[in-house]
Amino acid sequence: MTFLQLLHKRRNPLSRFTTLSIALFAIALPVAILTPTLSFAATTQSNVAGDQMLILDDHIDSSLTADPIEEFISVHDDTSYVGQEDLWARIRNGFSMPDIDSEYTAKHENWYASRPDYVKRMLERSQKYLFHIVEEVEKRGMPTEIALLPMIESAYNPQAYSRSHASGIWQFVPATGKDYGLKQNYWTDKRRDVTAATNAALNYLQKLHGMFGSWDLALAAYNAGEGTIARAIERNRKQGLPTDYQHLQLPAETKNYVPKLQAIKNIVFKPDDFGLSLVDIPNRPYFTRVLAPKQIDAKLAAELAEVSFEEFSALNPSYNRPVIVSNSEVHQLLLPIWAAEKFKENLANYDKPLTSWKTYSAKRGERIDYIAKKFNIEVSQLREVNNLSSRKNIASSRPLLVPANIDDNSPLVQTSIDYDASLAETHANVENEPNKTKTIRYKVKRGDTISSLANKFDVEKSHLLNFNGIRAGNLKAGQIIKVVTSNTKFYPTSKSNKRISTHQQRKKYSTKSSRYEKNKSKKSSSSSHRRSRISSKIR
């Protein structure tokens, strides 16, 4: 069978031609449309109230077919520009933000120009995602500079993860991610889902643009929070000063944020001026969506698609476990376009179990070495699969992923655990006592400090700061903070965490701004979604 392939063509602007020329061109232009179908080779059983029991049959039912693949593929109407086979040319044509020529811009230009290997790695990572993001940006009528923003947010690394718990190429912190529909639980973190996070980020940026009326201010708010920008504008307005981006008093990082994007823009526009070269990126889709079983080992999915596990993980980075579990009626994976048909064919012919893992809830008093022996797995591997460092103990309230016996038909259980980075660090010592946690919403009173609240609730100060994304001196009376109380201590994030792949970490601070969004007239913009993100200097 031939592999799946899409043919895309778009007309180039023809303003220089006469009306007759346009008509002749339109008649002569052939358009090819390919519309294959995709079978969904899996059956499922109904959900049970509470935990959803998701059971995947080992036998493939070839009679189950999906709707035409156009509904599940990255369809881009007339995507290719005539004479613009290179995606960079298309991006340059869409530049529309005013240029910022400043000492900040020059500083970042020099930084990138002096690190050609870093720039090359960043651009190579972007090859898989950039076409999709450019498409989404153009559909919304946004400047194509926005498609370059992940370069300064995460260096286009979908696994980028900061000590402030910001994650993915767009670097959403947990709270903002949830606000924009990015689910985070035991099985998946949609902040790392390239398509979902892109949609969320563009929604957020459009909202900010609507609030502030310019893209540079929208970007500044994306970096520092809308409350910070609103206060800076109000401060200048009261003093009779200009309220544009370059005249506002902003945090140093935010002052550098838009110039850093300007530096990337300048490099893309004329790379030769900086002694750099751009990685070739064709002006066509790299990946497509395919239907998949509700449960399947990630490595098996890669094998069925005949792609490397690294390639599969780069396109499906949101999964936290070696087995992919979904409770959706239609589950989709991203694959290179050339691998989609192979995956479909190989899945239909595969007659062995699709999963080799199951969930296990530790009983009170069970030690991790006992569990490892019970399921014939090394302790180190059990810890790695479940993201447990050697310092952390298992919690009776948290499921463990363990190998499934060949004759064991126990189903995987889709839990509803909120996979919050701070909560994930609180593993109770079940040998001593059961783990009991609860989340408290506390309204800050006048005179409260981080130290006094840490003592009040018997938690570490670092937990309060990281969990709420705030600074020690930033508490305000009336502010709502969340506190997770437990009979265990909160451990700080390990600096050796393998998912933190950074040259330089940075922090920003996040607070709620729902009142500011819902009722601007009440001037409660002091609350804001300040977002904590990672430095762009990711190697």
Question: Is 325 in contact with 357 (CB distance < 8 Å)?
Answer: no
- Separation of alpha carbons 416 and 294, rounded Å: 16
Name the CA dihedral angle for 285, 286, 290, 293, rounded to a multiple of 10 degrees.
-160
Per the annotation, the verdict on 85 as an active-site residue is: no
- Separation of alpha carbons 495 and 492, rounded Å: 9
Residue 114 tokens read as: 């002096």
Residue 538 identity: I
- Separation of alpha carbons 138 and 121, rounded Å: 25
Per DSSP (E only), the strands in 385-513 are 399-403, 412-414, 437-443, 480-486
What is the residue whose two structure tokens read 């530049």?
95
Long-range contact list for 178-186, CB < 8 A, 24+ apart? 179/529, 180/204, 184/418, 184/419, 184/420, 185/415, 185/416, 185/417, 185/418, 185/419, 186/320, 186/321, 186/398, 186/399, 186/415, 186/417, 186/419
- Separation of alpha carbons 416 and 397, rounded Å: 12
Phi, psi at 173, each rounded to 5°:
-80, 160
Round to the nearest angstrom and report the end-to-end CA distance of the chain: 40
Helix axes 252-269, 215-224, angle to 10 degrees: 130
What number of other Cβ atoms are within 10 A of residue 292's Cβ? Answer: 25
Residue 320 tokens read as: 């936290």
3-state SS record for 494-524? CCCCCCCCCCCCCCCCCECCHHHHHCHHHCC
Gyration radius (Cα) of the chain, Å: 25
Phi, psi at 227, each rounded to 5°:
-65, -40
The per-residue b/e assignment along 14-34, b for 16 or more CB within 10 angstroms, e otherwise, is: eeeeeeeeeeeeeeeeeeeee
DSSP 95: -
- Separation of alpha carbons 212 and 14, rounded Å: 35
CA 468 to chain centroid, in Å, comes to: 19
Which is the catalytic residue, given 136, 138, 153, 226? Answer: 153
User: Which residues are identified as catalytic?
Assistant: 153
